[in-house]
Amino acid sequence: IKEFNLLVYSQVEGKRAVIVAKTPDVQNLSLILESQEPTLYNDLAPFLELVEKKEISGPSYFRNAASVRGYKGPNFRFLTLSNNDFGVCYLVLGDYFVLSTSWKSMQETISRLNLPGRMVELTQELKKGDSGKEVEILQSWLKEEGTGIYPEGIINGYFGPATERAVKRFQEKYAADILAPQGKTYGTGVVDHYTRIKLNELYATSGIIPPTAEITRELRYGDKGDQVYLLQTWLAKDPQIYPEKMISGWFGYLTQKAVIRFQEKYKKEILTPQGLEKGTGIVDAFTRKKLNELYGNSK
């Protein structure tokens, strides 16, 4: 980003700052921001305290705007720092990057820029062991149901035991709409057709779901995000390659070892053309090509 506009938005709670910039590299910027979320508050703290004109308490975690019931705009990430609509919101959409210090100022900026959005909804059956953006959306929505449904409140994009239990509770809470039509009494923990209908009825809103049909970039140790979820999901299909089956969205040591095994299994197509004998653990162009060939769109 070389040029940006700094705006001041006046709302009932006080003045809020908004930064708007155009960027040609939307995908990389999104990945950078996502990876920096754990430290983003500390990085911005001096600026935030200058805007708020007082010391502010630390954050909990970023959430998807798409998970908030009733929101009708493009999805953005937000972190609330106080109950007077002050925090950190950021959006990367089209060729725009927007950073604001309140929910209202973000909504107003989106409206003025006329940024598009598309429907965020659950579109497929989800069950234990699944991973990806739709699982993250599911978890966000279950968390909105409260601690009675999802006490753990984990939002990591992996459908584990806690998510399964939450789905069962949700199904039993709305048994008349989900279980009764199927002649069932107890929740199954599988997000089936009836469960999706109810979840979408309650929470579906406008936002963005990144495509995850293929691996599109180089991945290596330390990376995180949807592309890593997808990589781990594919590697886990072969127990000889990835026996641990850790699907976390973070490219750690186990994922690196699995990539090495995958590269050496398909040595002729991945390593030999590069003059290599042993796997590198980096998902390079040759490795991506083989992964997409085996598990991508056509599969």
CB contact set of 142 (below 8 Å; sequence gap of 6+): 149, 150, 163, 166, 167, 170
Q: Taking residues 272-278, what's their average pLDDT?
A: 94
Q: Which one, of 80, 113, 61, lies nearest residue 13 by Cα?
A: 80
pLDDT above 90: residue 282: yes
Spell out the domain ranges in the chain: 6-113, 130-203, 223-296
What's the one-letter identity of residue 151? Answer: P
pLDDT at site 231: 87
Helices 285-295 + 253-265 axis angle, to 10: 80
pLDDT at site 49: 63
pLDDT at site 298: 36
In tens, the pLDDT along 165-178 reads: 999 999 999 999 99
Bridge partners of residue 4, in order along the sequence: 21
In the predicted model, what is the mean pLDDT of the chain? 81
Beta strands in 94-170, from DSSP E residues, in sequence order: 96-100, 118-120
pLDDT at site 212: 42
Q: Which one, of 263, 281, 271, 274, lies nearest residue 219 by Cα?
A: 281
Residue-wise DSSP of 162-182: HHHHHHHHHHHHTHHHHTGGG
Q: Which one, of 160, 177, 121, 169, lies nearest residue 142 by Cα?
A: 169
In tens, the pLDDT along 36-81 reads: 777 776 777 676 666 655 555 555 577 877 667 667 677 788 887 7
* Degrees, nearest 5: CA angle 98-136-139: 120
Which pTM value belongs to this model?
Answer: 0.42
Residue-wise DSSP of 5-31: EEEEEEETTEEEEEEEEE-S-HHHHHH
pLDDT at site 210: 37
Query: How many Å apart are CA 129 and CA 152, to the nearest integer?
Result: 17
CB contact set of 176 (below 8 Å; sequence gap of 6+): none
Asked if residues 145 and 170 have their Cβ atoms less than 8 Å apart, the reply is yes
